[in-house]
Structure 1
Amino acid sequence: MEAQKQTTMVVFSGDLDKAMASFIIATGAAAMGNRVTMFFTFWGLNILRKEQHVPVQKGFLEKMFERMMPRGPGKLGISKLNMGGMGRTMMKHIMKKKNVASLPELIQLAKELDVEMIACTMSMDVLGIKEEELADGLKFAGVATYLAEAEQSRVNLFI
């Protein structure tokens, strides 16, 4: 019996278009029967942030990061031609018109397909993000956990 194929990816970017690509690839690989692990680090953590404010104890610099970073998939800008958010609005409009799944829909699909989503605890510490500020159903771990998964993977991406 052949071992289950595995796909891993580091999701470093918090840009909407790159987040979309990450989840399209992840759900595609999972639909093909692959075991999929996504490791969210630095700006990629913004994809997983809850859109509503969660009151948690933070220091001054952590509060500044919280205010500067987008909160959740609905607030992400695009990597090129964002134009103060207008590019994001145009992209979402076209995606809806063309029946392309939204980022929240892709995230839900990934959960349904048992895609493992790991939030990098070191990046969380650096950016002042607490577990309760992130989506439910995540695993919290460091880079060693991701690297152990990546060693077993046939496909490893950095987005």
Structure 2
Amino acid sequence: MKKTIIVFSGDLDKVMASFIIANGAAAMGDEVTMFFTFWGLNALRKPERIPTKKSFMEKMFGWMMPKGVNKLGISKMNFGGLGAVMMKKIMQQKQVESLQSLMETARMLGVKFIACTMSMDVMGFKPEELIDGLEFAGVASYLGEADQANVNLFI
């Protein structure tokens, strides 16, 4: 069986839910594709600054948005980042895997990560600013995967 997940949100809790579902499906032997678009691309950003040639607007997008999974806020009650800190602390106390760990598990299980090239263009992200091991494609590639899947989620 095949599953696809569009990761549209850049909120910690929603990205985490995406990876929990992806890992569950992959652990059951399903082929899983995650298509990261718009704000979801923030989860794929490298935490360090990568020098690239960008327009003023592209630089502003990059400056305003979180760089990687450790900088994502939560969707409700973020309180300027304090909500995410509290959530991570509670998750650690409850022995819930971190988002970084969930991403690593997904890779080990063979989950395919696709970065949306149109969203990258709009937001000014360059391939070298994103984590290694990604595929880069447009919506037609996602739709090709989705046509073959029995479950398609938008998170």
- Which position in structure 1 is the counterpart of 2:74? 78
What amino acid is aligned across from residue 20 of structure 2 in structure 1?
Answer: I
Which of the numbers 132, 137, 146 marks the counterpart of 1:150? 146
What amino acid is aligned across from residue 49 of structure 1 in structure 2?
Answer: R
Any gaps of 5 or more consecutive residues in structure 2? none
- Which position in structure 2 is the counterpart of 1:92? 88
Aligned equivalents of 1:93, 1:132: Cα separation in 2: 31
Which of the numbers 42, 49, 52 marks the counterpart of 1:46? 42
Which of the numbers 10, 16, 25 marks the counterpart of 1:29? 25
What amino acid is aligned across from residue 137 of structure 2 in structure 1?
Answer: A
Secondary structure, counterpart of 2:35 in structure 1: strand
Structure 1 consecutive aligned stretches of length 4 or more whose deviation exceeds 4 Å:
none
What amino acid is aligned across from residue 138 of structure 2 in structure 1?
Answer: G
Which of the numbers 1, 16, 34 marks the counterpart of 1:20? 16
Query: Normalised by the size of structure 2, how large is the TM-score?
Result: 0.99
Which of the numbers 126, 129, 133 marks the counterpart of 1:133? 129
Identity %: 66
Shift of 1:46: 0.1
Shift of 1:110: 0.5
Q: How does 1:49-68 map to 2 (within 5 A)?
A: 49-68=45-64
Shift of 1:73: 0.2
Secondary structure, counterpart of 1:157 in structure 2: strand
